[in-house]
Structure 1
Amino acid sequence: MEKIFLGKQPILDRNKNLVAFELLFRTNETAETADFDDDLSATANVIVNAYGNLGIQNVLGQQRGFINVNKEFIMSDVIGLLPNKHVVLEIDSSKQLDNELIAQCAELKKAGHQFALDGVVSLNEDLQRILPVINIIKIDVSNLAEKELVNLVNHFKRWPVLLLAEKVETHELANQCMELGFEMFQGYFYAKPEKISGKRADPAKLSLLKLLTLVMSDSDIEEIDKEFKRQPGLSYNLMRMVNSVACGLPQKVNSIKQSIMLLGRKQLQRWIQLLLYTTESSSNSDSMANALLKTAAARGKLMELIATVERPHDKNHQERAFMVGILSLLDTVLGIDMQQIINKLGIPEDMSQALLSREGRLGQELKLIEANETGEVTIIRSLLKELGFLDLGELTNLELEALGWVNRIGEATN
């Protein structure tokens, strides 16, 4: 079977909730560079194969997917295979936008398809003509002077379009785009969530960290039970989660001790690690829509899967890899220095090296996952070569498995 390769980058709303991914499909021939959309026929073939072979629900979960398309793809029958509610078709604003393309987009829009105009940096006649069929304008904010950006935003605000700021790479630029009224955001500032700042450690998070320490140090169940009882909300969440995954039991689980016994220490540890990433928002929004949680959970599972390929019979190594992935964003969430977290949890040396400086085997694998999150193909290939037991196609398959696991967890915890 032909190999399919996948890259993805998160798209967030004004509250930093994950609302979509830009999907970067690529083949062996195009995977050496970050621009995966030059080979026109390959783009169409890969998208079709991706939907057929990868299972788009594994990739996207409940989120929408932005997919780069070219004129050849838009004019072909293949476009009918894409579910219009799940996918936004991205058109490159730097390419020629002729009458034939615009007419076809207008027909597709009537059929329910949505279009985004990608890489917008200025206004020209072509852009003006295609605007009536566009739903989302993606403005490349990386190299625009403040006045140019303000003028562009003011122009597009006269149209019924959503504005998405792409290539947002600094805190200052993110704040500027928020002030200008952008509705969606994409870029390394968000795709590398460790750069998201301004979080403070709250008592509930610190209690979770204490619980995690107790579980990891093999403390008595009575001691863990006592700590849970200090946090009624956590106790309720634990029992709800255990009851939802243990539906074959003859009766409902109604005590903390019973929940811990049924879940087991390893699963309890994982659940607490994931809970550390959930938001305190009082809204009923799906906690798995939180970008940090989704990224951390996917990192943990992908680290575990990579470790399983490397050492299939070493369960301890696989568990440590999972923990490195999950914990790698915890300093951001808690507003605590990573060294303090490592000291508090008593983390072993090889895991500490990975978390603090991306050194050692686990550090290399974490670095690989971070490069994969941002589509840095040259770094990905270099790290895969250094590791020596994985190729790009295998990494993609493992990533899809990890994403499927994260989405299933999201469904179970609703």
Structure 2
Amino acid sequence: MIDLSSHDSASKNLRVREFYLGRQPLLDRNQALFGYELLFRNAPIGPANVTSDLGATASVIAHAAQLGMEKVIGDALGFVNVDADTIMSDIWGFLPKEKVILEITENMDATPEVLARMAELVEQGFRFALDDVTAETGQVQSLLPMIEYVKMNMRNADLPALMRMAPRFKQDGKKLVAEKVETRDEFKHCLDLGFDFFQGYYFAKPIIMSGKKLSPSQLALMELMTLVTSDADNVEIERAIKKDVSLALNLLRLVNTPAVGARQRIDSLSQAVTILGRRQLQRWLQIMLYAEPAKRGHSMTPLLMLATTRGRLLELLAHKLRPKHQHVSDIAFTVGIMSLMDTLFGLPMEEILTQIPVIDEVAEALMHRQGFFGELLQLAECLEQVEEMDHKIDPTLRDLEMSTDELVELEVAAFEWSDNVVRYAI
């Protein structure tokens, strides 16, 4: 894990482990994954913790080599918040400039020295985003020459100002990012205004459609999952898989991913069923439910990424907390990946649970966020929206008797695993 430097309680240096890490996706106009904003929030560690969130970011940047930036963002870009002090510091050797966008706010103290330093960093290949732009002030104008991305917050946006500014920034060659996009209607509105990228969890919100039916591929997967979880023999399962050629091919591709960890290449369905076992086979069928729409040209990659990350994080948390009970980890994975099936299918969770039989503990977690698995799911959801929900994380960690550094370590492992799976899944 991340190595701690010595800590002087009189100073404002953050103990690097004591932060929460949030990762919020940015999607492009086709709703494909483009990047992540990395959000670091200080864990409440008592009166000595007087460091700002931006100070936390600076400390994490300084240890980015140990944290493993590529594990956190995969092939995407990473947007990282920085302030004037960070810009003036000499920590830039730790950051892969081709992968990172430095994000500043419009009210940062843009002194001539800071502007000169930004120009120098741009010359070196770093790129900047200007966050929370609400007006075309003199400060904004002075920063614009160094800015590639302009971010505008939809939650507190003044619509007339937005409609006035967006075309001007586009005319200046800036890429527009809409933040806090929480509904599909907001996404469509921002699309009409010409925004290039969208940040928010609108893509994970279910749109319930009455009379919605599952696609033939989804039905085939659901029927297969029922066989796998029942007492059907392996021959019957193989026969069911072979009925759908694309399903068989996709399953073979998935089970040969590094994330499965098989010691030998799996070349046949009988091998897949035998080597993986029922538990692992069920897992990959669940993942394929999310991957299937992407194969038909629908941009469900962000939902697949979010579901696999949740599933893996819950599995790792459960294993950490109850290491002697493998079945608990398996159940936790199922809870995490099923938690977005109402969005995937456009059906109420109650209806989904009538089609996919689950034990009472799983139903309680999915329907009411209650019980052990419900608590783990709530923790994952709070991390996804760490800006608004960070106050709920520490009490949950105390209840679970888990430290912040253990949590971040598991988060990074879940990010890396999910990224690996998604590369092979679509």
TM-score by length of 2: 0.87
Which of 69, 82, 88 pairs up with 2:82?
69
Q: Distance in 2 between matches of 1:174 and 1:168?
A: 6
Partner residue in 2 for 1:59: 72
The 8 Å contact of residues 208 and 348 in structure 2, kept in 1 or not, is answered as no
Give, in angstroms, the shift of residue 302 of structure 1. Answer: 0.9
Give, in angstroms, the shift of residue 254 of structure 1. Answer: 4.6
The 8 Å contact of residues 120 and 137 in structure 1, kept in 2 or not, is answered as yes
**SS at 1:271 equivalent:** helix
**SS at 2:36 equivalent:** strand
Q: 1:352 to 1:76 in 2, by over 3 A?
A: same
Tell me if 1:138 matches 2:132. no
Which of 27, 33, 40 pairs up with 1:12?
27
2:382 maps to a residue whose letter is A
Tell me if 1:163 matches 2:176. yes
Once the two structures are superposed, what CA deviation does each residue of 1:222-244 show, in whole Å capped at 9, x if it has no partner? 22222212211011122233455
Tell me if 1:401 matches 2:416. no
Partner residue in 1 for 2:8: none
Partner residue in 2 for 1:103: 116
The 8 Å contact of residues 40 and 72 in structure 1, kept in 2 or not, is answered as no
Aligned residues: 403
**SS at 1:136 equivalent:** strand
1:119 maps to a residue whose letter is D
Partner residue in 2 for 1:290: 301
Which of 194, 203, 207 pairs up with 2:205?
194
The 5 Å alignment of 1:13-28 reads 13-28=28-43
The 8 Å contact of residues 279 and 290 in structure 1, kept in 2 or not, is answered as no
Q: Distance in 1 between matches of 2:236 and 2:270?
A: 10
Partner residue in 2 for 1:231: 244
Unmatched segments (≥5 aa) in structure 2: 5-16
Give, in angstroms, the shift of residue 140 of structure 1. Answer: 1.3
Q: 1:8 to 1:31 in 2, by over 3 A?
A: farther
Q: Distance in 2 between matches of 1:269 and 1:228?
A: 13
Give, in angstroms, the shift of residue 4 of structure 1. Answer: 5.0
**SS at 2:171 equivalent:** coil
Partner residue in 2 for 1:309: 320
Give, in angstroms, the shift of residue 72 of structure 1. Answer: 1.4
Q: 1:195 to 1:401 in 2, by over 3 A?
A: same
Tell me if 1:381 matches 2:398. no
1:162 maps to a residue whose letter is K
Q: Distance in 1 between matches of 2:296 and 2:363?
A: 36
Give, in angstroms, the shift of residue 204 of structure 1. Answer: 0.8
Q: Distance in 2 between matches of 1:223 and 1:362?
A: 32
Partner residue in 1 for 2:62: 48
The 8 Å contact of residues 201 and 333 in structure 1, kept in 2 or not, is answered as no
**CA-atom RMSD in angstroms:** 2.6
Give, in angstroms, the shift of residue 76 of structure 1. Answer: 1.7
The 8 Å contact of residues 69 and 91 in structure 1, kept in 2 or not, is answered as yes
Q: 1:40 to 1:328 in 2, by over 3 A?
A: closer
Tell me if 1:359 matches 2:370. yes
1:241 maps to a residue whose letter is L
Q: 1:40 to 1:339 in 2, by over 3 A?
A: closer
2:246 maps to a residue whose letter is G
Which of 310, 335, 343 pairs up with 2:346?
335
Give, in angstroms, the shift of residue 412 of structure 1. Answer: 4.9
Q: Distance in 1 between matches of 2:45 and 2:132?
A: 20
Q: Distance in 2 between matches of 1:283 and 1:336?
A: 20
